[in-house]
Structure formats: C-alpha cells, structure tokens
Structure 1
C-alpha cells in the first residue's frame, strides 16, 4: 500500500511541477487539460439527458457565456481560454457524481495529502520553486520570498493548500482510530495539517489567510453542539488560533507588514488597491454602450482599460466585478444564481456526512471569489468531489463508527 501511495504521488508531483513550463509556445498547464476536457465533454454528452442540479446547469451556462462578449471580435482566443478555464468544474462534478462514495472519499483524501506533501521538498531546500513568487522586497525584507512550491503562483499555491488542509481537518475529525490504511492515520493527518498550515503562512498570501480563517470557522460552527467538552474544545482552539496570530504579529515583522500592506513607501490602498480595481470595473461597465452593459467587454478590453487608469493590465481581483465588466448583466446574474444554487444544494443536505466539508469549501470559494476571482483547477476538482459526495443519498451522518467519513475506504 505504501509503495502504491508513493507511485501515485510521483506523476502527480511531476504533472503539476511541469505546469510551469511551455511546450512549443503553449503553457503545459493548458496543454495537458485539453484531452481531459475532451474526455469530460464526451462523458457529459453520454449522460446529457440525465437530471442535473441547478448549480451544474448554471455553471455550464456561465462558462459558455465567457465566449460571448465584445472581446470576441478583438481577441477570441482569450474568450476560448476563459471558457476552458471555467468549464471543468461542472464536468468534473458530472463525472464523479456517478462514482461510489468510497472512490470519492479516496480521491478527496489522497489529492489533499499529495498537495501538502508536494510542499515538503521546497521547505527543506531540496527544490526551488519556478512559479511566480511574492517578493517582500517592497516591504523592506530583501531575502524573503513567498512559498510557491510546485504551483504556478503563490496565490494558487496558498489557495490549494487551504482547501486541502480543510479536507484533512474534516478527515481527522471524522475518521475513527485504529483504521487500516496509514494515510487515514490520525498522527499522519496531524503532521500534514501542520505542514499545510505552515505552507499557507509561508506563502504570504492574504487571500489564502482569509479563506482558511473563514472556512475553518464555518467548519467548526456548522455542527456545533453545546456540550461542556465541545465548548471547552472550541474555546481552546480559538484561543490557540488568536494567540498564534498575535505571536506572529509581534514577532514576525514580515508577516505583519504583508498582512497590513505596510510597504517601504507607506501603506497602500485597502487590499492592495482592490477598491480602485473594483471602482474601475464598475466605471467601465456603467460607461459602456447597451451591448457592453448587457454582454460585457471581455478580459482583454478591461485589462486595457486598467492599463490606462493605473498603468497595469490587471483583473478586478473579484469574480463579482469580473463577471460584471467582462460578461455584463448576463454574466453577473448567472454568477449570482450559481452561488445561490450552490448554497441551496448544500443546505438541503444538512444530514449528509459530507455537509460540513462542502459548506466549509463553499465558504472558502466565496471568499476567493470576493477578493481574488478566476478559477483554479485543483480547487474546482476538490470542490466538485465534495459536492459529488453529497449526491449519495445513502451517506446520512449517524453516530455509528462504521459510517464515519474516511472509514468507508477500508471496506
């Protein structure tokens, strides 16, 4: 079993690390996903007549909408790229919802463990990150670089570590002691959770910090029962969390400077200029013609507008404002409907064993959409897996040990 665990990890590591390279001028991160998307589309067509949850249908229409805005006559390849970036989420859900719960749980646990394991060679100095890193040079710390690991950017690394840690916290909480497979061992999971939290910290990405805090609080409170033991545990956990943050603020100047955006030349606008980005997005949308207001101006046109306003070609750093300015009224309405339908899908399954995890990941996803935006493949994959697990109506949470999350893969 250990040998198989290692053998599966090697191609996982190699695949994600290779995403940092180009092949014949095309990013490998896009290249390897082309056959995957084709396979998922074929699978989707095979079951196209089957009943699908509202969020899945809306998610598909939201991805399709990416193709149709005024940018299509300017740089159509960008529209196609955006379509391909957002399409995998509903297709992955379609594929995994037909798998049994044992298989889905195994995917969730192993993916999350592999994500965190992949960070260890970089923390030990055995490998160097080649993705886009966050430098703290502008904060007065010449030698400090944010951890990126195998990922293409510090943001994608921090976000993926965050959701992986939440999955493992869920697995630790629900897995019974004395199970057979070592990757479900509580001590092993504690080790990986600790490494994962350190990796989140080491990335110096505030989006990752916010996602982790929100997701953890939702996880802790979603099934909270007022017993003496649970109240004591909750107080102890919150105390440790707050104490840890205060310790870092008092003893780690780099962390404090990054958290509060205290740069060498003074503190910048709130959220690294996000309020300005959001204002620019709304301004460009509201100043558009009727077609632009309804259908949006697309990614490239908005980046050009950002360049005129602030001298940099940037997104708005919010999926809400990106949806509005890039895909117009249709885009923002579809996106809001997507979030509402996702929440309703999860909320209706409160008694399901996967409810707590799915709700926590939804909270993390919402925070990500609010202050960052776009789509990260591994985040979509893990979120789709958690939702697919909810589709299994037989997995109702009970107090019986044999029904616990994570134990099923031992059957």
Structure 2
C-alpha cells in the first residue's frame, strides 16, 4: 500500500504531461490543468501570504507581469495572458515549495524522484508500448526523434537532460537516497540514450554544459587537466563515430532535412534578424513595451514562413516585450546568478550552478518557459536556500 501511495502522484503526473498536447477547444489539455494550478498557487502565495521575496523572485514576477502590457495587447490579449500565466509558474512554485516542504530530506526525495520519473517515463515509448502525442513544429521525414510523454522533442530533450544531470549529481555525491546504485547507473545510461534519441542539439549542448559545471573542480591540478582532456578525447571520438555511422544523427547535427541543407542553426539567424527588424521599425511605445505575441509571430511568418518565436529569449523578449522585457529578463538572470554565487560554500552550489548555465544555454538557443524544467529549477534553488538557512542557524547557535 505504501508503494502504491508513492507511485500514485507520478502516475497522475504522467497522465497530465502525456495528455498535454491534446486539443480541448481552442486550448490544449496542458493549459486546462495548469490554469487551476495557477489560481491555487496565486491564492496561496500572493493573496493568502505575501511574504518578503528574494531578489530573483521579484524580477521573475516583473518579467511575467510585463506580458500583459504591450503595444498591441488588445489584439493578442489571449496570448499575453497565457504567457503571463506561464512565466508566473516559476516564482509561484518556488514560494509555495519553500513554505510547504518541511525539510531538505523530503525535498531531496522529491527532486531525485522526479528526475528518475522523467527518465523511466521513456520506457513505454522506446519499447513501443505507447505512442507519443507530441506535435513538433518541424517534421523530419528521414528519422523519428524521441518525444515521450512531452509535447515535443525539444521538451523531451530539455527535461530529460536536466533529469540525467540531477541523477548524476546524486550518484556523484554518494547520496544515501541512492539505494540501488547499479540500477541507478543503468537508469543514468538509459537517460543519456534518450537524450541522444531526441536528436535535439539544444539538449546536447545543455548536457555538455551541465557536465562541465557539475564536475568543474575548485582548483585545477595537472592530473585533473589530463583526466579532463582524456574525457574530451573520448567524447570527441564517440561523437565522430556517431557522425560517420548514423546518417540521421549526421543530418540533424548539420541541419540537413529531407536531403537538403537548411539555414544555419535551423534558421535561427533569420529569426533573430526578423525580431530585431520588427523592434527597430516600431514607434517609441512599441520599442519600449514591445509589439506583443501576435505581431511578433505574424512578422516571423512573413519573413521566414514559420509562425514561431525567435528561438532566443533575448530576441523574443525584444520583439514581444520591448526594452522593458529585455531589462526584466537580464535583471532576473543577474539576480539569480548572484543568489547562487553567494551560496558557493553550500553542498548544492555546484548543481545549482550547472542548472543555471544549462538554463542560460537554453535561453540562448531556444528560449521560452518549460514547465517541467521549472519544477527542477524550483526544487534545486529551494534546496540551496534551505542549506543557506540551516548554515545561518548553525552560526547563530555556535
């Protein structure tokens, strides 16, 4: 009975994420269940209890609220409200988790459990027991990428990469929560395989950056430098072998779709230029407050033939939310980095820094808000703050 109680929340979460892309009228099932979640969190955090907030949380609230004030909000009000809710999830979940999770041990169980769950969720899809409901914006006729229970391959790559790095962090620290080491090593290897199956370069980059910051020593020795070079050589050789032996992998890395070479970076340079052009040609109000979602998407469609974001959070914010959007986003990043850096003597510092920089790489190459990644970030940063509070208590009681 106890094991069933442990599995029950994960089964519900699997259903909610898996059914996410399904249309329910004009919106998706993902939006249907996240709206009441948002209302609940908003009531618990901002209305019922409005406590003193950390700096990066204040910036995060400002960043979310900015989506409601744009030059063309009357046209794209629906999408502005949707983005407001999406961007509010991270700070609301952080404050709720910080107040309601009672101790670090419980938080560790949630963080590790969610990471293991994300990786295990791939089993029914890779073994053909379930078919993904994902709907990617771009289709690839020459190969199938892993999407699993997520809404698209990018979501699968981003979330699985983060899960693998978190599991690796717990294995590396020899956490007492890792009860079956061999099984978790197998799970780790399977997670890395899932990342590979996504064929998403953003996920590959996030994985490499996460590894670097997770294993980067405080002081480099000659032995560590040589070991690092050896690992890089092994990774390089493995990467070369994959390129030579796997045509689908080669085509994805070099952006060859259906036998044709596409624009560099899946056309990212074109997206960025289109976003800057939209912003630069706006009036003063539009340059400060942005054009809003609808104008940005329509301009992208006219310039590139695809109704998409700019594939870079800085350029997306510039077009959608103007200079204020950029200021709030940069303020959020700087404040979050300072929050982590001030806690560099704590056990979770290295993991928090790895998560921050893999998030930064995601913002540079893709952008947007990813709900499952938000959950990971919330739990990691709450864990770091718990450790900080415990340290302060120890100093006071010493």
TM-score, with structure 1 as normaliser: 0.89
Matched, 1:12 2:7: no
**Offset of 1:16 from its aligned partner?**
1.2
Which residue is equivalent to 1:52?
A: 53
Aligned partners of 2:115 and 2:166 also within 8 Å: yes
Q: Does 1:194 align with 2:210?
A: no
Aligned to 1:408: none
- What whole-Å deviation, never above 9, does each CA across 1:353-396 have from its counterpart, x for those lacking one? 11111111111110111110110101011101111111122566
Distance (Å, rounded) in 2 between the aligned partners of 1:278 and 1:32: 33
Residue-pair matches, total: 386
Distance between the aligned counterparts of 1:293 and 1:305, measured in 2? 15
Write the mapping of 1:382-401 to structure 2, written as runs, cut at 5 A. 382-392=376-386, 393=388
Corresponding residue for residue 149 of structure 2 = 150
- Per-residue CA deviations over 1:259-300 (Å, capped at 9, x if unaligned) read 011235542221011001101101110110011000000111
1:205 Cα deviation after fit: 1.0
- 2:308 is matched with 314
Give the drift of 1:23. Answer: 3.1
Asked if the contact 1:222/1:356 (under 8 Å) is kept, the reply is no
Partner of 2:140: 136
Deviation at 1:84, TM superposition (A): 0.6
Do 1:136 and 1:254's aligned partners in 2 also have CA atoms closer than 8 Å?
Answer: no
Q: CA deviation at 1:8?
A: 3.6
1:94-149 CA distance string (max 9 Å, x none): 11223221122111101111011000111111111121246432xxx2xx211110
Residue 41 of structure 1, CA deviation: 1.1
Measure the CA separation in 2 of the matches of 1:18 and 1:167.
25
Range with bigger deviation, 38-47 or 378-387: 38-47
Are residues 190 and 225 of structure 1, via their aligned partners in 2, closer, same or farther at CA, if it must alter by over 3 Å? farther
Equivalent-residue separation in structure 1 for 2:187 and 2:6 (angstroms): 15
Matching residue within 223, 247, 252 for 1:253: 247
CA contact (8 A) 2:19 2:133 kept: no
Partner of 1:112: 115
The CA RMSD measured in Å over matched residues stands at 2.0
> Structure 1, unaligned stretches of length 5 or more?
397-411
2:396 alignment counterpart: none
The 2-side partners of 1:60 and 1:172 are apart by: 34
Mapping of residues 354-369 of structure 1, within 5 Å: 354-369=348-363
**Which of 279, 283, 287 is the aligned partner of 1:285?**
279
What do the CA deviations read for 1:318-343 (whole angstroms, capped 9, x no partner)?
11001111101111011111111111
The answer on 1:43 being equivalent to 2:37 is: no
Correspondence for 1:402: none
SS at match of 2:310: coil
TM-score (structure 2 length as normaliser): 0.91
Equivalences for residues 27-176 of structure 1 within 5 A: 27-45=28-46, 49-98=50-99, 99=101, 100-133=103-136, 135-137=139-141, 141=142, 144-176=143-175
SS of 2:73's equivalent in the other structure is helix
Ranges of 4+ aligned residues in structure 1 off by more than 6 Å = none
Gap regions ≥5 residues in structure 2:
392-398
Structure-2 separation of matches of 1:146 and 1:395: 44
C-alpha displacement of 1:47 = 7.0
Contact persistence 1:171–1:184 (CA under 8 A): no
